[in-house]
Amino acid sequence: MSTAQQLPDILSPEFAANPYPVYRMMRDSAPLIRHEATQSWIVSRYEDVERVFKDRGGQFTTENYDWQIEPVHGRTILQLSGREHAVRRALVAPAFRGADLQDRFLPVIERNSRELIDVFRHTGRADLVADYATRFPVNVIADMLGLDKADHDRFHGWYTSVIAFLGNLSGDAGVAEAGARTRVEFAEYMFPIIQERRENPGEDLLSTLCAAEVDGVRMSDEDIKAFCSLLLAAGGETTDKAIASIFANLLAHPGQLAAVRADRSLIPRAFAETLRYTPPVHMIMRQTATEVTLSGGTIPSGATVTCLIGAANRDESRYRDPDRFDILRDDLTTTTAFSAAADHLAFALGRHFCVGALLAKAEVETGVGQLLDALPDLRPDDGFDVVERGVFTRGPQSLPVRFTPTA
Ligand code: HEM
């Protein structure tokens, strides 16, 4: 094991400004770091992160979410395992794939994207983060659940506070208090709606959850509220960052942007490469159930492992020239990129593989397609440089663009 004393700390401003050179140093010379401040063991190589996520030998648990997320969401499927996990996951999984996604929710996705673009298409300028990316995915999930999109600002505030709690690596007291407040506010908001939906079920996903039975038992109001909280946070923040990042990457590579504009079937490739190159979630944790030996050394039983997705996705032993954004690279498989057979690690792998991956793909395909149609000659605003924010989740802070206005 390396002590990594010469490396910038993951909590330092230098790391936050640009983690990628540090990731490289970690993979090369400190692939297993005992990190005192987060009381965890940091792994950065592709082979190690993949092994932790796939967990073939049953050596890792998600008990870390008991302290990392339960205080704000309540108990969710992220913490469950075995049959309990499979049954609950199966309650929402059908809505996020196949016929339900195509027939029931694709129209919702298309309408929500169009509504946002219509606000700025005739103005000639927009911030693709503030005006679009932070609004679109959370509006979609709110609509899918049958919640009132007019409450967007509250949803956005809540999911930002939940994700901040999850990524509160330095234990900031203000972030912890805001998370606790969010739990109370979200419960006060949701319980009357759950009650109403139990009495008057509709076609929405919330009604499906209210009617669902797990092993013959209805889910409690608390279970349903926790599920909704997870869906808003997991489906909002991540896809928000993904959409902002795909545009940041394409705008920085005008030749690739032109290729995608000319051939929209390249959008999934551009999305898969964005997930590899600039993943929305940079870190995921696990707990060891036993002593485990990885490429850099041995981790004791009962320890927390911090898996650096952002580092593993740029491992030169897995991807050629990994610091180059290239939507045509032949060592990233697009056909499996949105399934548990993916080779990039942005959605994790194994039993907790992102249940919303195909929903995210549908949102990105629709969003990028509609934006390219509505915004001809899309270009970064004069003198603008992308600044990325976040070490747990990460994405462009803003993305001011100009274009010829359309009616
Ligand atoms: C680009 C967008 C997205 C990214 C990068 C992403 C990333 C992830 C990751 C890394 C995990 C694994 C967490 C772990 O193993 O500890 C996960 C799980 C999950 N995601 Fe996503 N996600 C995205 C979009 C979505 C969407 C749109 C939804 C649904 C609204 C969603 C819902 C979930 C849920 C419910 C889980 C937990 C699955 C389980 O425990 O079985 N995600 N996601």
70-129 per-position pLDDT tens digit: 999 889 999 999 998 998 898 888 889 999 899 989 999 999 999 999 999 999 999 999
Q: What is the pLDDT of residue 355?
A: 95
Assess whether the C-beta atom of 31 lies below 6 angstroms from ligand 1.
no
Question: In angstroms, how far apart are the furthest CA atoms of the chain?
Answer: 62
The span from the CA of 255 to the CA of 401, in Å, is 17
Tokens describing residue 299: 């981790």
Instruction: Characterize 244-280 residue by residue with b for buried, 16 or more Cβ atoms within 10 angstroms of its Cβ, and e for exposed.
Output: bbbbbbbbebeebbebbbeeeebbbbbbbbbbbbbbb
Using alpha carbons, select from 366, 358, 369, 368 the residue that is nearest to residue 98: 358
Assess whether the C-beta atom of 394 lies below 6 angstroms from ligand 1.
no
Asked if residue 407 lies in contact with residue 122, where contact means CB atoms within 8 angstroms, the answer is yes
In this prediction the pTM is 0.96
Measured in residues, the chain has a length of: 407
Assess whether the C-beta atom of 346 lies below 6 angstroms from ligand 1.
yes
Assess whether the C-beta atom of 296 lies below 6 angstroms from ligand 1.
no
| Nearest ligand 1 atom, CA 137 | 27
| pLDDT tens digit sequence for 325-344 | 999 999 999 999 999 999 99
The span from the CA of 210 to the CA of 229, in Å, is 15
Question: 3-state DSSP helix/strand/coil percent for the chain, to nearest 5?
Answer: 55, 10, 35
Distance of CA 123 from the midpoint of ligand 1 (Å):
34
Assess whether the C-beta atom of 272 lies below 6 angstroms from ligand 1.
no
**What mean pLDDT is predicted for residues 180-186?**
94
Distance of CA 392 from the midpoint of ligand 1 (Å):
14
Q: CA 42, 43, 45: angle at the middle one, nearest 5?
A: 155
Asked if residue 92 lies in contact with residue 205, where contact means CB atoms within 8 angstroms, the answer is yes
Please provide the DSSP assignment of 102-138 as one string.
IIIIHHHHHHHHHHHHHHHTTTSEEEIIIIIITTHHH
Residue 92 vs residues 51, 77, 225, 228, 325: alpha-carbon distances, Å: 27, 11, 14, 11, 33
The span from the CA of 58 to the CA of 359, in Å, is 29
pLDDT confidence band for 1 (50 / 70 / 90): very low
For atom 21 of ligand 1, the residue with the nearest CA is 354
Assess whether the C-beta atom of 280 lies below 6 angstroms from ligand 1.
yes
Tokens describing residue 272: 């898969």
The pairing of strands 217-218 and 213-214 is antiparallel
Assess whether the C-beta atom of 52 lies below 6 angstroms from ligand 1.
no
- Fill in the DSSP letter of residue 299: E
Assess whether the C-beta atom of 274 lies below 6 angstroms from ligand 1.
no
Percentage of the chain modeled with pLDDT above 70: 99
Assess whether the C-beta atom of 250 lies below 6 angstroms from ligand 1.
no
**What DSSP element (H or E) covers 188?**
helix 173-199
| pLDDT tens digit sequence for 159-177 | 889 989 988 988 899 999 9
Tokens describing residue 173: 């007291």
The yes-or-no verdict on residue 4 having pLDDT over 70 is no
For atom 3 of ligand 1, the residue with the nearest CA is 238
Q: What is the pLDDT of residue 5?
A: 61
**What mean pLDDT is predicted for residues 289-297?**
97
pLDDT confidence band for 2 (50 / 70 / 90): very low
Distance of CA 3 from the midpoint of ligand 1 (Å):
32
Scan for tokens 């209805």, then name that residue: 218
Distance of CA 105 from the midpoint of ligand 1 (Å):
18
- What 3-state class would DSSP assign to 294? strand
| pLDDT tens digit sequence for 49-77 | 999 999 999 999 999 999 998 999 889 99
| pLDDT tens digit sequence for 270-279 | 999 999 999 9
For atom 39 of ligand 1, the residue with the nearest CA is 352
Burial of 171: CB neighbours in 10 Å, binned 0-12, 13-18, 19+: exposed
